[in-house]
Structure 1
Amino acid sequence: MSASVTGSDSRIRLLIVDDHPALREGVAAMVQYETDIAFVGEAPDGEAALEAFERLRPDVTLMDLQMPGTNGIGAIRAIRERSRHARIIVLTTYDGDLQAVEALKAGAVGYLLKASLRRELLEAIRAVHSGRKHIPPEVAQQIALHAGEESLTPREIEILKLVADGHANKTIAWRLSLTEDTVKGHMKNILAKLNVHDRTQAVTTALRRGLFFL
């Protein structure tokens, strides 16, 4: 769905990308009476987002992170490759620092938690459109808190995902064609990097920070 906006319209053209129709409709309803913002279209996933962006050329795009197919970060990269001036606000449930950092590296200029949508949406759209960044204090604090820490390797994240699924070291070793001692060594590194003491804490911390999602 898209709204008709003429070329002479000076309002901020807004595109919403999210796989939940109710959220897209909610955002459209929130901006419909704003005199300076025009809802111009929506997309349900990353691939459709790129097509909609090229067709509609919005001033600001709200982009969900977790979607089927091409996720939000992939879509941000694709859009920024085609338009380095694109202004994209990440729209997400998660306040983890790792997802925020990845999104900002990909080219997002704003970060908006869905829990704060009603309170911060209009402010975020206007701030980003005017050339400023919008990052909630709680997300900025998480980024600062973990800045400089050593990141988990792709293999360590893969192992931690299997731990989260309830697999023991022996099973993980079999599934990944590793020795059990190698898996134990990876787990030791994971605990040290996340500054936790056991597997349960490691999984909880990883989920909170956005290393992966269940």
Structure 2
Amino acid sequence: MSERKAAHRGRVLIVDDHPAVREALALRIGRQSDLTVCGEADDTTEALRLLEEAKPDVAVVDISLRTGNGIDLIKRIRDRNDAVRIVVWSMHPEALYAERALRAGALGYVNKDQATDVIVEAIRRARRGEVWLSEAMAQRMLMRSVGPGGLEVARSPLDSLADRELEVLRLIGQGRRTAEIAEQLHLSVKTVETYRDRIRQKLGLPDGTRLTHYATQWVLENE
């Protein structure tokens, strides 16, 4: 490949906490004539370091990371360099996370149960500044945007949760104690307790035990 062609290949940063997943995607991208992997990371700290050092055109980000989470990382990438395009590639349900990811600054959301051809196409679209969503999710978001008198789309109770509240709920469902959640999210224990109470109220749950049961069941069904 000539230097000129190599210079025009889109530089892709892969951020995922599973080494095998990163390796598989890197191999797939490496077979493309117009794309190349410029770095891999498993957490927010390493991703932000590579953002400065590797100069990616596109970042592929998972929702769950070794430390931190994808939604927060998207916001931080956009704050540091809004020229970097971002695509989420995750096992988490797009019905719950895709709209949040786009609001944070991503240009696409791809479920990991889809063929790797799909994430490669989403990367290409993002590089051009275009949005990529599944047809079902695009229709769902369109229906939500319809004004009074239009078609209604049922919303999950979880839609009422802020991004940070949803992250706390996920960690509760993974069996993390309040102190552990506080440490992972760099928050005080009191702040996490406040989040727990807000989540419980928004979901209409009577007490902390029901909240833990709800969170555990949700994680079992979605992770």
TM-score between the two structures when normalised by the length of structure 1: 0.68
Name the amino acid aligned to 1:140.
A
Relative distance call for 1:68 and 1:60 in structure 2 (3 A) is: same
Asked if structure 2 preserves the Cα contact closer than 8 Å seen for 1:156 and 1:186, the reply is no
Aligned to 2:127: 129
Asked if structure 2 preserves the Cα contact closer than 8 Å seen for 1:76 and 1:88, the reply is yes
Relative distance call for 1:138 and 1:186 in structure 2 (3 A) is: same
Aligned to 1:47: 45
Name the amino acid aligned to 2:160.
S
Q: Tell me, in whole angstroms, the C-alpha distance in 1 between the residues paired with 2:65 and 2:39.
A: 17
Structure 2: runs of 5 or more not aligned: 145-152, 176-192
Asked if structure 2 preserves the Cα contact closer than 8 Å seen for 1:156 and 1:190, the reply is no
Structure 1: runs of 5 or more not aligned: 166-175, 192-197
Which residue among 19, 27, 30 is the counterpart of 1:29?
27
User: C-alpha displacement at 1:47, in angstroms?
Assistant: 1.3
Q: Does 1:103 align with 2:101?
A: yes
Secondary structure at the counterpart of residue 101 of structure 2: helix
Aligned to 2:82: 84
Larger Rg: 1
Name the amino acid aligned to 1:20.
H
User: C-alpha displacement at 1:208, in angstroms?
Assistant: 9.0
Secondary structure at the counterpart of residue 115 of structure 1: coil
Aligned to 1:189: 204
Q: Tell me, in whole angstroms, the C-alpha distance in 2 between the residues paired with 1:160 and 1:33.
A: 35
User: C-alpha displacement at 1:205, in angstroms?
Assistant: 8.7
Asked if structure 1 preserves the Cα contact closer than 8 Å seen for 2:71 and 2:100, the reply is yes
TM-score between the two structures when normalised by the length of structure 2: 0.66
Q: What is the percent sequence identity of the aligned residues?
A: 30
Relative distance call for 1:190 and 1:109 in structure 2 (3 A) is: farther
Q: Tell me, in whole angstroms, the C-alpha distance in 2 between the residues paired with 1:41 and 1:188.
A: 40
